Amino acid sequence: MIRLRRPAWFPTLPLLALTVASLGVSPPASAQDADPRPQRPDTALRLPNTIAGEFTPGAGFDIIKTSFGSLNISMYGLFRYLDQVPGNQAFTDHLGNVQTINASNFLNWHRTLVWLTGFFYDPKFRYNITLWSLPTTQQTLLFGNLQYIASKSLVIGVGLSPSTTARSMMGSWPFWAGSDRSMAEEFFRGGFSSGFFVTGEVLPRLKYTLTINNNISELGVPQSFDTRNMLFGGGLRWQPTTGEFGDRGGFGDFEYHKHLATQFGFDGAQSREGRYAPLGDAPLNTQIKLSDGDNPFVEGALADSVTVSTLSYREIAADAGAKYRGFSFQSEFYWRTLSDFVANGPLPLNSIYDRGFMAEAGYMAVPKTLNVYAIGGYVHDQFRRYPWEAGGGVAYFAHIGGFVFGLLTIRWWVGQNERPPPPPAAWPA
């Protein structure tokens, strides 16, 4: 057990230690693979890393492989220790209400993912059945994703897929500095929902994605509570120098690029969101948060005794990244607007506009084995709270039997959100 005392001027000083056991995450890459990286034989005939986000499998192991179909299995598991100190914490929200924080001190098997992938009848017709379990929230789901690879410029897919709201949603997981997103990413990003998408390489080294999803996140939202509104999104990703950015477009230079690899992207999405629950009940829409952590659909979140039933969500993000000889840098800027509120009472504002950024830098101190990294983020929010975070850590990888296993990540970070809130009358309308 590790406990840290906080300086008096920081509200939180958590330490996050993670042990990750991943079967079949990725075969090892050589230096030549990244300069530029050639196409490797697709022995498992697994799904290409298009927009599947956290649900793209690793190389895994072939169970069945015939001319009429195939079956591959891959898995991922995460055990973590999380300690947020001090244990007794509270914050004052933008309305001046004091709310307590349930500070964590947990040892948990946090996440399990099992992928069954392959093709059926035609190698261009791919399937992905995913078992996803999060014991920390007592949630287990079984869902699917189907794709047809018509050509290099056109891949058609249906099933559970991410909203195009952040680069970390577009296939890079779990190749991040740590196993969790930064504060700013987590605040601005959307979630995963069933829908339809098309993607492909529209020009050399330039890829596009267009999506239609049921909502911003269907986690915990039964279909009977959803509305007729849809989420529409799209994005571009440009890799001008080497035409690749390593495995899954991950943020660290695990591949050890001998030539500068660069990636630039632009993503956006909009939807009409509801609370997906009757007034008086707790909202089932938990993806959207205000800058102090409140859920906008909770009674009293924007005005005393007033409940927002629907709102319009619009978000865009622009990202840039680079990798060279073990060094890596990733950044992203976000702009989000919540507007067109429908509520059961008057509200002190017509819209909420927030913007912010995240940055992550790393260096493979031991090539392909030990990554040292630093992260940071900031939100310039409507309520003038200006939350920020800074942190860092190390990640250790082992090479066993031709596969790469992420074994241990230690992450430490600090954040601030104790700025006294201005009165609602001072908020920009």
Domain boundaries, the chain: 15-426
At the top level of CATH, the class of 15-426 is mainly beta
User: Residue 73 is encoded by which pair of tokens?
Assistant: 């299995």
CA distance 330 to 184: 13
| Angle (nearest 5°) at CA 11 between 9 and 13 | 100
Residues 315-372 have pLDDT tens digits of 999 999 999 999 999 999 999 999 999 999 999 999 999 999 999 999 999 988 888 9
Residue 309 predicted with pLDDT over 70: yes
Region 200-207: mean pLDDT is 93
Band the pLDDT of 421: cuts 50, 70, 90. Answer: low
pLDDT at 174: 73
pLDDT at 3: 30
Burial 71-95 (b: 16+ CB within 10 A, else e): bbbbbbbbebbbbbbeeeeebbbbb
Residue 416 predicted with pLDDT over 70: no
Region 245-250: mean pLDDT is 82
- Answer for the pair 357, 378: CB distance below 8 angstroms, yes or no: yes
CA distance 366 to 373: 13
State whether the Cα torsion 416-418-422-424 is positive or negative.
Answer: positive
pLDDT at 40: 40
pLDDT at 179: 73
Which residue, 259, 263, 423, 429, is CA-closest to 332? 263
Residues 209-237 have pLDDT tens digits of 999 999 999 888 888 888 899 999 999 99
Average predicted confidence (pLDDT) for the chain: 81
Residue 82 predicted with pLDDT over 90: no
Residues 110-168 have pLDDT tens digits of 888 888 888 988 989 998 888 888 888 888 888 888 999 999 999 999 998 889 999 98
